Amino acid sequence: MKIASIQLQINDAQLASDRIKKADQLLDKYAGYDFFLLPEIWMTGYNTFDHYQDEAEPIDGPFVEHFAQKARELNAYLFAGSFVEKSNDHFYNTSILFNRQGQLIASYRKIHLFTYGSEEGELLTRGTDPVTVDTEFGKVGLATCYDLRFPEQFRKELDHGAKLFLITSAWPLTRLAHWELFNAARAVENHCFLASCNCVGINRGVVLGGHSRIVDPRGNVVAAGDENESVVTAEIDLAAVDQIREEFPQLKHRVLFE
């Protein structure tokens, strides 16, 4: 499968419509790829907390409708990153995955909300359930940014059959070393591929880290971005997961504690 991580630049002068237009342009440029990723709350800007509730949408709103159509046009799986979802009186950081036909095959509400210098945990309601979903290539697990620091979530997705983790993010440059570490660790400890998509630019004074990456089940970085807007691409084969797990059967040696 050919996979492309769209590392968008975010700045405070952009309108949501401009960001969507730019994302569409980059997606169209890589038409023919099988799988696309976009970053976390990129339409609003993760750190633009005062816009969260005003720009929130239901799961069947314009944001989801637009990228359902885009997945159909591309004939590709599209992990459209996350947006602020409004459901009744609650708001969530919700990421969405479409299949080639533009069907919404998975939505994931971020479980680990960030509270360190962030209003996310005050404004949003956390999700409760890890999410995995079948694709024609194999089962994938979804996660968002801060989730990377919590290996238990990825173990649960592994136990549900995941062979590829998809990460949407707005990780800051100040903690780039942690980002690189956790991307590799979550892949190698679970013998899974991992593809992440992070923002670049400056949003409400926070410099975003970029360095989106695609990591193989041995923890090797197959492809990575830098601190500029770019598209990170690779061709991977999820069949390699079974082979690697058989060659080095660490997962068979797990001791499960109650």
Domain of residue 224, CATH code: 3.60.110.10
251 φ/ψ angles, rounded to the nearest 5 degrees: -70, -25
The set of long-range contacts for 203-207, using a CB threshold of 8 Å and a minimum separation of 24, is 203/10, 203/11, 203/12, 203/45, 203/46, 203/47, 203/48, 203/170, 204/12, 204/45, 204/47, 204/48, 204/49, 205/47, 206/47, 206/172, 207/172, 207/173, 207/174
C-alpha–C-alpha distance, residues 228 and 230, integer Å: 6
Residue 171 within a domain: yes
* Segments in 39-87 forming alpha helices (H): 52-55, 62-74
Interval 78-131: pLDDT, tens: 999 999 999 999 999 999 999 999 999 999 999 999 999 999 999 999 999 999
Residue 254 within a domain: no
pTM here is 0.98
The set of long-range contacts for 220-223, using a CB threshold of 8 Å and a minimum separation of 24, is 221/183, 221/184
Residues 207-215: what's their mean pLDDT?
98
Residue 257 within a domain: no
| Number of domains the chain contains | 1
Residues 206-227: what's their mean pLDDT?
98
Measured from the Cβ of residue 159, the count of other Cβ atoms closer than 10 Å reads 14
Q: What is the dihedral of CA 84, 86, 87, 93, to 10 degrees?
A: 10
Tokens of 11: 């700045």
Interval 30-66: pLDDT, tens: 999 999 999 999 999 999 999 999 999 999 999 999 9
pLDDT (0 to 100) of residue 222:
98
Residue 141 within a domain: yes
Query: At residue 239, what is the residue type?
Result: A
Residue 211 within a domain: yes
Helix count and strand count (H, E) for the chain: 7, 15
C-alpha–C-alpha distance, residues 171 and 92, integer Å: 18
Residue 151 structural domain: 2-248
C-alpha–C-alpha distance, residues 46 and 41, integer Å: 5
Residue 255 within a domain: no
Q: Using CB atoms within 10 A of its CB, is residue 124 exposed (0-12), middle (13-18) or buried (19+)?
A: buried
pLDDT (0 to 100) of residue 258:
81
Interval 123-174: pLDDT, tens: 999 999 999 999 999 999 999 999 999 999 999 999 999 999 999 999 999 9
Q: How confident is the prediction for the chain on average, in pLDDT?
A: 98
pLDDT (0 to 100) of residue 13:
94
47: region left, alpha or beta (phi > 0 left; psi from -120 to 50 alpha):
alpha
For residue 216, what pLDDT band results from cuts at 50, 70 and 90?
Answer: very high
pLDDT (0 to 100) of residue 224:
98
Residue 258 within a domain: no
Paired residues of 82 in beta bridges: 95
Q: Which residues form the catalytic set?
A: 40, 110, 145
Query: At residue 199, what is the residue type?
Result: C
Residue 67 within a domain: yes
pLDDT (0 to 100) of residue 74:
98
